[in-house]
Structure 1
Amino acid sequence: MATMTITEIAALLAGAMLVSLAVIWLAGLLPNPARPRPDRPAAPQCHFLFRGATLIDHDAGALWPDESDAADDDWSRFRNWLGFRFGDLPVDPHGITAGQSLTFDSTLPDDPARLELQASARSLRATLHEGGPSCPAHLHEGRRRLMVLDVPKAALHAAPQPVWILGQDGHLIWQNDAAGAFPSDSIARMSAALGPLPEPTDTRTQRISLPDADGTAPDRWFDLTVTRMQAGHAFYACDVTALVSAESAQRDFVQTLGRTFADLPTGLAVFDRAKSLALFNPALIDLTGLPAGFLSARPNVMSFFDMLRDAQVMPEPKNYANWRSQINDMVSAARGGLYQDCWSLATGQTYRITGRPHPNGAVAFLFEDISLEVSEARNHRSEMDLRQAVIDNLDAAIAVLSPDHRLMFCNAGFGTLLGIDPDSSLADTRLRDIVSACQARFPQSTLWPILERQIATGAPLSERIRLAQGAGQLDLRHIPLGRGNTMLSLCHHAAKDAALMQERTG
């Protein structure tokens, strides 16, 4: 073998390196069967196998509804369980013929799930496709949402008010503990009492009674509210038995008051806090002449007083523009317990109107016919004026004292004779003031202290006082009138004495 030179060895090494690089480059272009690609997880599915209406197998685990569901059979429970997502599923599984396949897409937004029903000769297979990968994040989010839903669900179950939900077909699909405590047919009777159920986005409330099943207890009353929701109709029952009993007791009490006030001669009109007539008695009709039908229609305050004005049972307002504000002021005054007025009518009658506040913002008006009282007061006043006119025209100065020696009344001559004004200080004028005035007017007589003692002891007195400088004589008389009252009379006889003297001298 010939010896290789160094140049030949270098050329051989360079060629081997080029061949190796070419093999490595080509190997990178060829597929590598030893490197497997990761497969996407299959979409989750659940299978349910029915024979007729009976579930014979499934792989849903503990998620299958338990026996507390109100449905009668397994297929009905299955429909109730899935109905909110897939609409109205077939009511009778026997109606699906062998070999037929039905597919239902979810009715919820952003929900790719679907339900497939495949019927064979002896069974029906239902397959629930969730339509997405069952990744850990999705499973975690689903469990989180279930946990969040458990809180309001527990609160609804523990609520003291009965709550239940009827599905689209009218069957009960859920109820809380309070509703479950009702007798078996109570939910159906209460639901049927509402009549036609409301349309979507509509809510209706109605008060209904629930008779006792045995008839031994009184009826229970509920304010039943129903609202339309996606799964059906939700019912909310609020027990108002105590409220109905209180309202009934109040009506009985009002009727009792009405019978009590029926015989009163005073007209009564009670307005509630809404200013509507809540109670009246027959005397109000007799005094005002308002029709019973008008009063029974519960008019408001304005209509009531407008009717009184039209019937001329109250004075015509001078300024009708301010009439309504005056009525409001009158009602406000009555609510404060401050309103009282007398109405003089064109018929000659006089009514006294009194406003009184009542609890809870109500107000009552009392109408009294005081025509006789006013007439007697006028007659009495006329008699007093006549008596005063008579004693004012007497020649004698007369005063009457009370048992405690206060001046009760006197005539004009008494004030003129003694120079006092009893009208300005009648209540403050006493016996000592009268005696002092007599001494100041007639100082020449020493009889005044004796007069004070006689009046104090109640003894009668009759004396004549001769006045100085030809002023004539003054007759003084004290007469007890009984019950401690006394009369004092002073009569000046100067003119009388002069006439007698002229008659004697002729």
Structure 2
Amino acid sequence: EVAGNEVRLEVMSRHSAEPGRRDLHCLDAEGEELRMLRANTEVAPFLLWRQNKDGDVIWANRSYLAAATEIFGLQRVSMWPIPSLFRSTAVLKSGARNRVVRIQSVANVSDHKDWFDCHITEVDGDALCTAFPADEAVRSEARRQEFTQTLTKTFSDLSIGLAIFDRSRRLALFNPAVCDLTSLPVDFLTSRPSLVGFLDQLREKRVMPEPRDYRAWRNSIADLETAAMNGTYAETWSLPDGQTYRVSGRPHPDGAMALLFEDISAEMSLTRRFRAQLQQSQSIIDSLDEAVAVFSASGELTFSNAAYQALWSDPEEPSITGKTVVEATRLWHKLTVPTPIWGDFRDFAFQDRERDEWTGQVTMRDGRSVACRFVPHKAGSSLAIFHPQEAAGKVPSELRHAV
């Protein structure tokens, strides 16, 4: 108390103070805190309620009461105890204490059950529960699982082996074709081996070419990963048993990568047979005395034999080979006396209507006569056949060399 220049202080024991004077400010603060806590719980967008040890709901916030009203109706919600949105034992036995557990609510009038992510905290022997709607998450997981099953079914029908490694380079997914092509046991693949372990097993099973330097090969796996992530890894593996695999790498989301194994043994065998047939055909055509050339419908030189190269080679410009009809006829014109046959053949080669076989005779600059025959071929191509004849009074070259 202040009186003029004097201040009077009164000291008293807190135990002897009058309750009204001592608790006035405390009660105001507690009341303000209570109003704030009630307002917070009322506007919370998630479900919040308290259950006793018997599972009875003894308190709930507005969101909980609104959800309960939709299921049980206003009259039932107004009665005591507050109806439980979840079976009383479902929450308490869910193991949601200190962690989130997904459970279903009781059925509504449409016999629909909503999903919620629940969490329980023990407070003075009761259970303080929170629940967040999880229907959208459940639907998303269902769609993802359905999509995964669809992919798995699709992968299982593929003849190409597919092995997907996650960002830590552990095998995350594989299809049955991987087992068929690599002969790796299923229990090994399901153990989620690392990329290095996977390739080691391929090497032991002799399902990949034996590296000359094993240590260098192990070090090159990092290069393989980089190439696969860039989508540039592609190799052809020729195996000791005669099989041939095409192996390629592809990047996948979230740092994952995929290895694809394709058995191309039949394709390679067909290619080798086709190449052998071409070589045989070329050898047979080269044995002919007549010079033969085939031009496509677009005028490209697609085939010729050794006799053609010998007849139509320019000693002055050996690099000019005549890869098209225009270039070839220009070369022919240079090596022969002037003749309209080459212009006629150009027109013949580019005609798109029905054509007939025709013949002609030209004279080389060295005096030799060449019989020409031009034949329409399949797909608009044209066949040119030249039969050189020694000039009259000229000694054949083989006899000239013999003398």
- One of 141, 151, 163 as aligned partner of 2:36: 151
- The match for 2:182 is 288
Comparing 398-407 and 277-286, the one that deviates more: 277-286
* Structure 1 residues 39 and 451, CA gap change in structure 2 (3 angstroms): closer
- The match for 2:75 is none
- The match for 2:278 is 384
**Does the 8 Å CA contact 2:337/2:365 hold for their aligned counterparts?**
no
**Does the 8 Å CA contact 2:290/2:386 hold for their aligned counterparts?**
yes
Matched, 1:256 2:150: yes
Max Rg structure:
1
In 2: Cα distance, 1:271 partner to 1:362 partner = 6
Identity value in percent? 30
- The match for 1:192 is 92
Q: Which amino acid aligns with 1:251?
A: Q
Structure 1: 5+ residue runs without aligned partners?
1-36, 44-130, 199-203
* Structure 1 residues 263 and 215, CA gap change in structure 2 (3 angstroms): farther
**Does the 8 Å CA contact 2:375/2:384 hold for their aligned counterparts?**
yes
Matched, 1:476 2:376: no
Find the residue that maps to 1:205 and give its secondary structure: coil
* Structure 1 residues 191 and 209, CA gap change in structure 2 (3 angstroms): closer
Cα distance per residue 1:173-232 (max 9 Å; x no partner): 65433345454373732432235x86xxxxx31424235357963544333333456786
In 2: Cα distance, 1:285 partner to 1:373 partner = 21
- The match for 2:382 is 486
In 2: Cα distance, 1:330 partner to 1:172 partner = 61
- The match for 2:245 is 351
- One of 20, 25, 41 as aligned partner of 1:140: 25
- The match for 1:322 is 219
Give the drift of 1:132.
6.0
* Structure 1 residues 264 and 449, CA gap change in structure 2 (3 angstroms): closer
Give the drift of 1:437.
0.7
In 1: Cα distance, 2:318 partner to 2:261 partner = 36
Matched, 1:205 2:99: yes
TM-score norm. by structure 1 comes to 0.59
The alignment of Structure 1 onto Structure 2 pairs a total of residues equal to: 367
In 2: Cα distance, 1:236 partner to 1:269 partner = 42
In 2: Cα distance, 1:217 partner to 1:170 partner = 23
- The match for 2:118 is 224
In 2: Cα distance, 1:293 partner to 1:423 partner = 65
- The match for 1:368 is 262
**Does the 8 Å CA contact 1:209/1:219 hold for their aligned counterparts?**
no
In 2: Cα distance, 1:185 partner to 1:423 partner = 95
In 2: Cα distance, 1:133 partner to 1:323 partner = 86
In 1: Cα distance, 2:253 partner to 2:10 partner = 82
Give the drift of 1:153.
4.2
Find the residue that maps to 1:475 and give its secondary structure: strand
* Structure 1 residues 227 and 263, CA gap change in structure 2 (3 angstroms): same
Give the drift of 1:361.
5.6
- One of 309, 323, 332 as aligned partner of 1:415: 309
In 2: Cα distance, 1:330 partner to 1:221 partner = 44
Find the residue that maps to 1:378 and give its secondary structure: helix
Give the drift of 1:149.
5.4
Question: How big is the alpha-carbon RMSD for the aligned residues of Structure 1 and Structure 2?
Answer: 4.2
Q: Which amino acid aligns with 1:462?
A: T
How do residues 425-464 of structure 1 correspond to structure 2 at under 5 angstroms? 429-443=323-337, 447-453=341-347, 455=349, 458-464=355-361
Give the drift of 1:384.
1.6
**Does the 8 Å CA contact 1:397/1:414 hold for their aligned counterparts?**
yes
* Structure 1 residues 327 and 176, CA gap change in structure 2 (3 angstroms): farther
* Structure 1 residues 300 and 234, CA gap change in structure 2 (3 angstroms): farther
In 1: Cα distance, 2:193 partner to 2:102 partner = 29
Find the residue that maps to 2:377 and give its secondary structure: strand
Find the residue that maps to 1:186 and give its secondary structure: coil
- The match for 1:108 is none
- One of 322, 332, 340 as aligned partner of 2:229: 332
Give the drift of 1:242.
2.5
Cα distance per residue 1:134-174 (max 9 Å; x no partner): 57586325523542454354223322222345679988665
Find the residue that maps to 1:155 and give its secondary structure: helix
TM-score norm. by structure 2 comes to 0.72
